[in-house]
Amino acid sequence: MATNHSSKRPATTLRCGNIKATIWQNVSENGPFFATTFSRPFKDQSGEWRTGCSPHEWG
């Protein structure tokens, strides 16, 4: 079973302009794997700043 990455630190964080990629190392029964979350700040319709993100995993 994969560990919950919300309680540990990321393996690394990369930035390119306002895009951020956070890479997490997790361990499963089949060995380690990495999960990456991409995020980007944006303003919503009311002008408030929000962060959009999308998780991706590779085995």
Residue count (the chain): 59
Strand order, beta sheet including 49-58: 12-16, 19-28, 31-43, 49-58
pLDDT of 53 over the 70 cut:
yes
Stretch 15-41: mean pLDDT = 93
pLDDT of 1 over the 70 cut:
no
Stretch 14-38: mean pLDDT = 93
pTM above 0.75, yes or no: no
Alpha-carbon separation of residue 8 from 5, 24, 25, 26, 34 (angstroms): 5, 9, 10, 10, 13
Residue 31, domain extent = 5-58
End-to-end CA distance of the chain: 13
Structural domain count of the chain: 1
Alpha-carbon gap, residue 12 to 30, rounded angstroms: 22
